[in-house]
Chain A
Amino acid sequence: MAIHNREAFLDNLAEQLGRTRRTKVESPVYSVHPQERVFQDATQGELVEKLEEQCKVIHTSFTSTKLETLGETLRTVLNDYGVTKVVGAAGPRNDATHLSTVYAELQSEGYDIHLWDENKGRENVTFAEQAGAGIVFSDITLAESGTVTLFNDRYNGRSISLLPETFIAIVPKSTLVPRMTQASQLIHEEEKKGNPVSSCVSFVTGPSNSADIEMNLIVGVHGPVKATYILVDDL
Chain B
Amino acid sequence: MSIKIGQKSYGDRIQDGLSNSFMRKAVSGAQGRFRSGRLKAAEELGDWEDWRTLGEEIRSHTMENLDYYLHQLSEQVENRGGTVFFAKTAEEANEYIQEIAKKKQAKKVVKSKSMVTEEIGLNKALEKSGCEVVESDLGEWILQLDEDPPSHIVTPALHKNKEQIRETFMKKKGYTGSDDPVELAAYAREQLRQDFLEADIGVTGCNFAVAESGAITLVTNEGNARMVTSLPDTQISVMGMERIVPTWEDLEVVVSLLTRAAVGQKLTSYITALTGTRLEDEVDGPEDFHLVIVDNGRSKILGTEFQSALHCIRCAACINACPVYRHVGGHSYGSIYPGPIGAVLTPLLDGYEDHKDLPYASTLCAACTEACPVKIPLHEHLIRHREIIVEREKMTTKAEKMMMMGFAKWASTPAAYKLSTKMARTTLKPWTKDEYIEKGPGPMKGWTEQRDFPAPSKERFRDWYRQREQRSDH
Contact = CB atoms under 8 A, between A and B. Distances in A.
6 contacts: A4-B85, A10-B86, A118-B282, A197-B215, A204-B269, A213-B162
Nearest to A22: B68
B67 A22 contact: yes
A54 interface: yes
B230 A35 contact: no
A200 B29 CA distance: 37
Interface string B4-25: 0000000000000000000000
Contacts of A202: 226, 270-273
A200 B285 contact: yes
B189 A18 contact: no
Interface string A188-213: 10010000111111111111111111
Contacts of B269: 58, 204-209, 223
Interface string A1-42: 111111011111110111001111101101111110110000
10 closest A-B pairs by beta carbon, nearest first, are A223-B223, A212-B139, A184-B252, A9-B86, A145-B266, A34-B50, A213-B181, A154-B281, A16-B302, A203-B271
B2 interface: no
Given A34-B50, A208-B221, A187 B65 contact: no
Contact of A153 (B58, B161, B282, B300): B282
Interface string A149-169: 000111001110010000000
Contacts of B251: 184
Contacts of A162: 223, 226-227, 230
Interface in B392-409: none
A18 B409 CA distance: 43
B324 interface: no
Interface in B286-327: 293, 295, 299-300, 302-303
Nearest to A207: B269
A199 B276 contact: yes
Contacts of A116: 283
B155 A215 contact: yes
A52 interface: no
Interface of B: 26, 29-30, 33, 45-47, 50-51, 53-54, 57-58, 61, 64-71, 74-75, 78-88, 92, 96, 136-139, 142, 155-158, 161-162, 165, 181-182, 184-185, 188-189, 192-193, 197, 212-213, 215, 221-224, 226-227, 229-231, 241, 246-249, 251-253, 255-256, 263, 266-279, 281-285, 293, 295, 299-300, 302-303
Interface of A: 1-6, 8-14, 16-18, 21-25, 27-28, 30-35, 37-38, 54, 58, 116, 118, 120-122, 124-125, 129, 142, 144-147, 152-154, 157-159, 162, 179-181, 183-185, 187-188, 191, 196-216, 218, 220-224
Contact of B81 (A1, A30, A209): A1
Nearest to A142: B267
Contacts of B50: 32, 34
B328 to A, nearest CB: 19
Contacts of B226: 158, 162, 202, 222-223
Contacts of A214: 26, 161-162, 181
A219 to B, nearest CB: 9
A35 B285 contact: no
A229 to B, nearest CB: 14
Contacts of B272: 200-203
Name which of A116, A121, A142, A212 has the most chain B CB atoms within 10 A of its CB.
Answer: A212
Contacts of A154: 279, 281-283
A203 B270 contact: yes
Given A213-B162, A215-B33, A223 B270 contact: yes
